[in-house]
Amino acid sequence: MIYRSLAILVVLLSISAAKAGPNEDAVAARAQWEQVYNSGDAEKFAAIYTKDAMLFGSTAQLFTGTDGVRSYFSKLPPGIKVKMGDQQAIAAGPDALLSSGFADFTLPNGTVLPFRLTLAWVKVDGKWLVAQHHGSPVPK
């Protein structure tokens, strides 16, 4: 009887762990985004965006597709680091997630640039990828 109860408890815990909510999924996806950003590797960025992604970064240009994502991130000055801040997320469907929040970008000289960052994620082959990205400085 004790073993059966333990088995049921293990199954229930594994089901709840496997079904993370939108905030938990967004936290994990944004942590990966932060890690990739801090690597400075444009190829790693291309791998976490969809093939038809749209990206408004810190420039006026809209970058699209894998080549656009690669181009945008390869042109960033080296040494900038990011730290994700507070965020909110909602599920827009079983394979779509919208997250908005804050991120601090730190320049090599120590200057911190606070940004608002909105990312639309889609699940492709079980992996969350960025389909749309918009970043803008926090107004003064």
The per-residue pLDDT for 24 is 86
Minimum mean pLDDT among 4-13, 65-74, 113-122: which range?
4-13
Is 111 a domain residue? yes
Is 12 a domain residue? no
Band (pLDDT 50/70/90 cuts) for residue 25 is confident
The per-residue pLDDT for 20 is 61
Domain with 59 in it: what CATH number?
A: 3.10.450.50
Helix ranges restricted to H, 1-140: 2-18, 22-39, 42-47, 65-74
Is 87 a domain residue? yes
Q: Which residues contact 108 (CB under 8 A, 6 or more apart)?
A: 77, 78, 79, 80
Is 3 a domain residue? no
Specify whether the CB–CB gap between 122 and 128 falls below 8 A.
Answer: yes
Residue 71, SS3 per DSSP: helix
pLDDT tens digits for 70-119?
999 999 989 999 999 999 999 999 999 999 999 999 999 999 999 999 99
pTM of the model: 0.82
Is 17 a domain residue? no
Q: Work out the percent of the chain whose per-residue pLDDT is above 90.
A: 76
Specify whether the CB–CB gap between 34 and 84 falls below 8 A.
Answer: yes
Residue whose tokens read 């990206």: 55
Other C-beta atoms within 10 Å of 9: how many? 10
Number of folded domains in the chain?
A: 1
